[in-house]
Amino acid sequence: MAEIVIVRDAAEAGALVADEIVRLIRTNPETVLGLATGSTPLPVYEALRPRVAGVDLSHVRGFALDEYVGIDRAHPESYRSVITREVVEPLGLDPARIRTPDGSPEGIEHHGDEYEAAILEAGGIDLQILGIGTDGHIGFNEPGSSFASQTRVKTLTEQTRHDNARFFDSVDDVPMHCVTQGLGTILRARHLVLLAFGAGKADAVAGAVEGPVTASLPGSAIQLHPHATVVVDEAAAAKLTRADYYRYAFSNKPDWQGI
């Protein structure tokens, strides 16, 4: 099963994951990162800023999880803009080495295959950052998504569009479709790091890590991965039945193992 790490707050989670990313880059300067958007991974990106000072990032590559279909790449809420604003510019990454799926309508039927090919050409993703939705989705893999799915066009659920409306003027402005890495794509990454904060994520977290593996809760796919780490605050961990064991196991883990 996944390793569950329960921390005090999002800042502690961000520091923990940022330390692991820096360790990885120092070991392999050509590290390939899987980059998530939204509010959940922000503490990681913020914690990385002081930690990458003096670290050579010129060969680091990155692949975003998803992109809206039909949104202008220059729109402030396109994931290309978000990744540039929150990750590439603050960390000083080479923008030419950071990719997001192509959400342009022209040729949309081929964009998923092209993104899959680009990830494979880069050697695969070393560490994939993930969040989880209140309905258990990861990336934009909504309930019912195949565990073998690859990068493709998906229709967003009404709940996800409402959840994301906070980034737009209204829910009507949230695109209906997206291009997202599939669950099969995500499971090919060598290390998955899923973050969740707040009581609103408690049910999804408990279902993903302690419930049955089911397409009805896409986040449960992490149970199939050989190296998955789930980092949650106390509120998000509130529904976990084995929380005491997770705390005990992590506190007694050898330091050299990292996360």
- Compute CA distances 194 → 77, 102, 191, 201, whole Å: 22, 24, 10, 12
Q: Where are the beta strands (DSSP E) in the chain?
A: 3-7, 32-35, 61-64, 66-68, 98-99, 127-130, 152-155, 177-180, 191-196, 228-233
- Is 234 in the active site? no
- Is 142 in the active site? yes
Q: Where are the beta strands (DSSP E) in 112-176?
A: 127-130, 152-155
H helices, E strands: number in the chain: 9, 10
**Active-site residue (options: 66, 126, 163, 233):** 66
**Beta strands at 177-180 and 66-68: parallel, antiparallel or unpaired:** antiparallel
**Active-site residue (options: 102, 135, 163, 233):** 135
**Active-site residue (options: 116, 126, 142, 233):** 142
- Compute CA distances 100 → 33, 116, 136, 161, 181, whole Å: 12, 11, 22, 20, 10
Specify whether the CB–CB gap between 259 and 222 falls below 8 A: no
- Is 66 in the active site? yes
- Is 75 in the active site? no
**Active-site residue (options: 137, 191, 225, 233):** 137
Which residues have a catalytic role annotated? 66, 135, 137, 142
